[in-house]
Structure 1
């Protein structure tokens, strides 16, 4: 006997499902975000969601795309910016967008964008870099390294502070220093690792940009 597909719900469209999923993400985190929980929030049966998404990864791909769409709408990249300013603006913008959602970096990491919206900004960025003396390969390496730095940084940041103003249990810097008293440098380093993420992120971006300029000999 052929398996019947679930009936399409007239209540649902893909953007509605994704919007609900992003809202629930802040409440449940990625581990608690299930199709069943989303369906309950939408007051439909879970099988209705399979008309739009075959599995959770497809949903995550669309969530990451929507996160990017919202970030692009808020992007403030000045037309006259050079490559340094472009890296700073995109790194800062991506971090801010990811921090807007609990586990935002985990959702973004490894997801595949749907559509080609992201290619618009990519083309502009690669054009800017090649016009300023980078080869295409160098432009890709510079931008992707900055992207990966930002994703990795925010992943670790959200491991300590899932949302701004929250702090996970077990990351008390003073308690850590007491436990590691026999290792004075490591104990003192806790404040540099687990606090003041804004400053640390900016310093990391500056290190990257300085290294890119030195490596590729660009102004």
Structure 2
């Protein structure tokens, strides 16, 4: 394939431009098909020139994590720590939905080297520390929140792919699934039949907020219990 020549007014190649084009390509082909070769072609350069700026796909994914993380917003309002984290969690979820295969990108490495991701972690640690939680609990609490958000968005995306594959609307799939559950033997599956209307009519916004609320309410109970036990709470 002939390489596209850089136009006279086209910006020079740097990591910023690579990230922008990589995200555009990601939206078109998905993570599995996002290769360094295809990215070089999209940039109109030889692969060797790309590797001069990004050594491999792993580093590319870290750059994408950094870019995506930079879009997550923290509230500047004078609100409670629970409201701050809830607002941040909603922003995190929205940002993940804005980029194709974003959850897989975030899960591509166990230890991130992304500055923007570090900043997100630092901010979350700061909020939990100011709320009074112990240092040895904070990293695991932060991890619980992060894993909940990533897992929830992954489930939303999975459900949407099922809808697209079946060629149905959410309502149509819900009706079919509800009929299947209602046909189950009443003696063996009374609660599945009883709760079927709620199981088959997803309300993602309400479910997401419920999950965050349950997590943070649990953290609040722990904070109060630790205080009652006379432990040192900052």
Determine if the alignment matches structure 1 residue 153 to structure 2 residue 149: no
Q: Does 1:140 align with 2:136?
A: no
Shift, 1:65, TM fit: 0.7
Aligned partners of 1:149, 1:37: CA distance in 2, in Å?
33
Distance 2:85 2:156 in 1: 20
| Mapped contact 2:133–2:223 kept (Cα < 8 A) | yes
Aligned to 1:91: 89
Q: Are the structure 2 counterparts of residues 179 and 44 from structure 1 closer, same or farther at C-alpha, using a change threshold of 3 Å?
A: farther
Partner of 1:5: none
Where structure 1 has 5 or more consecutive residues not aligned to the other structure, the ranges are 1-8
Residue 22 of structure 1 deviates from its aligned partner by 1.0
Q: TM-score, normalised by structure 2?
A: 0.74
Say what the alpha-carbon RMSD is for the aligned residues.
2.9
Equivalent residues in 2 for 1:112-151 (5 A)? 112-151=111-150
Q: Aligned in 2, Cα 1:46/1:179: closer, same or farther, shift over 3 Å?
A: farther
Cα deviation digits, residues 55-109 of structure 1 (max 9, x gap): 22211111011111232xxx14125232201210221111011000111111112
Task: Tell me which residue corresponds to 2:46.
Answer: 45
Count how many residue pairs are aligned between Structure 1 and Structure 2.
205
Structure 2 match to 1:216: 223
The within-5 A match list for 1:1-219 is 11-71=12-72, 75-111=73-109, 112-161=111-160, 167-170=163-166, 172-180=173-181, 182-183=183-184, 186=192, 189=196, 192=199, 195-217=202-224
With over 3 angstroms needed to count, the CA separation of the structure-2 counterparts of 1:193 and 1:98, relative to structure 1, is farther
**Separation in 2, partners of 1:45, 1:124:** 40
SS in 2 for 1:70: coil
**Offset at 1:191?**
5.4
Q: Which range moves more in the overlay, 107-116 or 39-48?
A: 107-116
* Larger mean Cα displacement after TM superposition, 36-45 or 145-154: 36-45
CA distance in 2: counterparts of 1:35 and 1:116, whole angstroms: 23
Pair member with larger Rg: 2
Q: Take 1:70 and 1:124, find their aligned partners in 2: how far apart are those partners?
A: 14
Task: Single out whichever of 93-102 and 42-51 deviates more from structure 2.
Answer: 42-51
